[in-house]
Structure formats: structure tokens, C-alpha cells
Amino acid sequence: MPQMLRPPSVGPIVGHTTDTSVRLWIRAADVPDLRTVGVAALYEWGRSAPREVRYFRLHREYDRTGTVDFEGLQPNTRYTARLGSVTVDSLDSELIVEDDEVFERLPKDLKVWREDFLRLDPEVSEATFTTHPSSEDGGFSFLMGSCRYPGLMGQSKRSDEIFQAMLRHVELARNEEALPPRFVLMMGDQIYADKLNRSIPMGRADTWREFQERYVEAFTTPYIRQLMRSVPTYMILDDHEIEDNWVQARLKDALKRDLFHNAIRAYMSYQWVHGPRNFDKRIHYSFDCARVPFFVLDGRTQRIRDDANASLLGNHLLGYPAKESAPGFKGQLDQFCDWLVAMQEQRGNVPKFVVSPGVFVPNEVGSRGGRGGSSDSWPAFPETRRRVLSTLVDNGVQNVVFLSGDVHCSNVSEISFEKRRGKLPLKAFSIVSSAFYWPFPFADGDPLGFVHDSKAEQDGFDIDGSVTMHYRTRGFEQDDNFTQVTYDTARNALVVRNFSRKGKLLKEPNELKLAAR
């Protein structure tokens, strides 16, 4: 008989959620080198008897992390789950054994685990979540942010503080708001593998174990753990999950290649695996909330750029574009542009949210007018930006909303498209939320370091010789903060609110009026 269930060492995390399903993640307890199986029980809200119990593998090569899916759920309904793990003896720990073979050694009647689940500490084993609504009627809201610096010399409590405010905000909103937050977007730099600088060995993760330690440290502080087991959370990496300002060209160096492999293995184990995973093993993905679409871009691992060459020629933010000689293969850029067109055709003028860790607009002052060579964001990749904007203009793709972090300065932008004879009836937007915790505001993120009005500051972007993109940016906030974005269908608008590390509304909300439905 296998031993009693152990609570997770990290998690649970409520991951990809739909109106009828949920994906839950844990890391198993630290145990000897045995095979590890996760056991999960799903409960209807307020019930003590599980609705369903399932086994799932926690593989050693993924640091004993894994996910379990529950399907056939009711829309807009609250559920509870409890998760734990059990070890199974193996005569040969190196032998590859299929999941079903391992499950055969466990009780077939999953009801035997009922009492063990009740004995688990809910603070480290229980997840709660609400499925998404099945339609956009009324709208919805979500929270977003990025850049959680871990802190130095005892600052870890301060770096965790904002997640307590976010959870309180969600819990209060469930009782007081018509459109409470449905999920959280974490848009990059969930860990800092290089706490000081990529050139300084002290505090820098190089090995698999060091990357694993960064994730365990980041995901087990009390408040982020409470938040992630209470609200569906979607994640995407940026540079500090690997190394500051990472580009593909560094893979030519053998040591950097090893660093990258360790970083991505850890990223996929702790962040990617509980997401939708709907582009096979590509890191980018898409999902819906109440039939409103989201596309989450990988702007880091496919970034084609030479560190030593500041020229913008040949730079590609989302990987190489498709080639006529290989018609059967599409990279991320083509998949994204196809998605934009398909969403406009299928769903009309609903918002199309695009998560891009690097900021789409505003440009930094030093990058305006096409001088993007030193930028780490879209200005350094004009051909990628031109392809995306051409897709919007040529296909009339309305209400694209870029969601970003990275720059340690929150803001909102309204994007317009102009011909010589006047504006096109096309709207797009950018919302930036950063940082969750960054103790060095004097180092970067200065609101005066960004272009506020592209026309007045000569930062328009030529799309095709006849159409120019312009933008106006406002609502700058440099303090640590998180952002709530509300899609209000009654007003056909997005309402953007920034909240401090303590949960206080920082300034008046910004309203972005969408193009008509």
C-alpha cells in the first residue's frame, strides 16, 4: 500500500481556465529518487465529497512538476481542488515507464484517498477557482503586471507584498464589483536569474539547479503562493528568466547555450506547462476569456539580433517570417498575423488582446524617429512592427490592445493611423504595467524618458509609404503597481486602473474608447 499523500512543495497553481475546464499545477514534495505521482481531487464549491479524483505524473526530468486537467465543468462556477503526491517504488529508477504502468501500481478505487485529502493542509494543497463565463455579456476584467525583482539583503518580504494586495483586491471585487477580475497576467521577469548583472557571477543562475532554486524561491513566498492558488494565472517569459537582454545570437557560445537550455527547461517546468500549450511546444500561445481572444507572444527566445551590431537590418522580434520555398511551415510572426485576421473575421470588433513583454509603444526618447538600435523593445525590430501594423491596416483589424511590462513605468496609449488626407477609422491601444517590485526607480522607468506624443515629438512610424502610425501616451506611473483592465461592453470601453503595492488606487482611471461593435 503506498504511503499517505504528501502536500506539494510548490503550488498549487491554477493555470489555463476556460468556461468548462481547468489546468492545475504542482511540484511534488522533495523525496528520494523514486517515481512520483500526483493525485488531485475536484470538489464542487462547499462540498466535502470529491466530484472527481485523478492521477497524473510528476516527472523527475521536469523537477517533479506536472499538471492535471479537469473537464466538463459548468461555466462561471466556483470549484475547489486538493492536490498532493505519492511515491512509487521502482526496481530500476532509470527505466522508462509509461504513465499507465505506474498508475497500475496505485489503488484503482480513487475514493481511498478521500481521508488523506482532508488531512492535507489547505494552505499548501488547496486551489480554488471560478470557470470563465461562456459569453462576453457585460464584459470582464483581469489583473496584469510584470517584473518582480526578488530583492537583496532581506527584501524578499517587500517583493512579495504586492501579491497580498492583488489577492485582497480580487476577493473584495467578487463581492462589490459587477466585473471582478477573472485571471492574472504575469508578463515577464517572474524571476531574475541575474540578480545583479549578467556579467557578474555573484547572484547569477547558470546551472539547472540554480534556475530551479530561483523558481522555488519566487513561487513559495507566502502571498504569491496564495494568489496563484486562488486565481487563474497566465505567464510568459522575458529576458530575466534567461539573461538580461537575451538574443538568439548568444547561442553560438557553448556556455551560453548550456545556460539557455537550463533556463528554458526550468521555464517550461514552472511557467509554460500550466498554460494552454496550443502551439505544440512553442512558447507562444492563445486563449479566450468569455469569447474575447488573447495571443501571448514569445518576444525573447526567437529574437534574431546581433549584440555586436546595432544595425536594425535583419532584426526579427518574433523569429523569421515564412518563405515561399517552404510553404508548409509558418513561424510565430505568421501565426500571429493569421490569428489577427481570423479573429477580426470571426468575432468582429471585440478587443483582441496581445501580450507582448516588450513594449509596443511608447518608444523611449532615445529610440524615436527610427533610432532603435539600442532599444530592447519593438523600435529595434522595425520589419516585425511593420508586418504587424500592415496586417491591421490591410485587413481592418480593429481594437488590438497590446499588453506589456518590462520598462518599470506603467502607462496607456491610444494608437491612430493616418494618411495624408486624414485618419483611418482604425483603433489600437497599448497598456503597460510594470513593475511589481523594482527598488531602483532612479535607474530606469523615468516617465520623462518616453515619447508622449509621437506627432509632436517626430516619432511617427511609416507603415507602407502612405500610412503612418501615431500614438499619444498618458497615465504614467513609476511606483510599484499592478493594473486592472476592465472590458465594459455596456460602455464599449476599456477602463485601466493602477494600484500600489498596498492596493491603493494610484490615480484616476484611464478610459480607452473602443471602435464601435
Whose grid coordinates read 502607462?
Answer: 411
Strands of 481-488's sheet in order across: 233-235, 181-186, 139-145, 481-488, 493-500, 510-513
When the candidates are 3.90.1170.50, 3.30.300.10, 3.60.21.70, 3.30.360.10, the CATH number that belongs to 139-513 is 3.60.21.70
Q: Would the pLDDT of 370 be above 50?
A: yes
> Apex CA 175: angle with CA 437 and CA 21, to 5°?
75
pLDDT of residue 88: 81
pLDDT of residue 509: 97
Please state the rounded mean pLDDT for residues 2-23. 91
pLDDT of residue 144: 98
pLDDT of residue 242: 97
Q: Would the pLDDT of 220 be above 60?
A: yes
pLDDT digits (tens, 9 = 90+) for 96-145: 677 787 888 788 888 889 889 989 999 999 999 999 999 888 899 999 99
Please state the rounded mean pLDDT for residues 298-311. 83
Residue 309: pLDDT band with limits 50, 70, 90:
low
Residue 2: pLDDT band with limits 50, 70, 90:
very low
User: Which residue from 6, 108, 1, 116 is spatially nearest to 58, judged by alpha carbons?
Assistant: 6
Sign of the alpha-carbon dihedral angle for 344, 350, 351, 353? negative
pLDDT of residue 201: 56
The reported pTM is 0.95
Which residue ranges make up each domain of the chain? 10-130, 139-513
Instruction: Give percent of the chain above pLDDT 90.
Output: 77
pLDDT of residue 1: 43
Please state the rounded mean pLDDT for residues 281-299. 96
Residue 198: pLDDT band with limits 50, 70, 90:
low
Provide CATH code, domain 10-130. Answer: 2.60.40.380
> Apex CA 449: angle with CA 425 and CA 158, to 5°?
105
Q: Would the pLDDT of 380 be above 60?
A: yes
Task: Using DSSP, state whether 115 is helix, strand or coil.
Answer: helix
Residue 303: pLDDT band with limits 50, 70, 90:
very high
pLDDT of residue 372: 81
pLDDT digits (tens, 9 = 90+) for 232-248: 999 999 999 999 999 99
Comparing 70-84, 195-209, 445-459, which segment has the lowest mean pLDDT? 195-209
Strands of 65-70's sheet in order across: 10-17, 22-27, 65-70
Residue 29: pLDDT band with limits 50, 70, 90:
confident
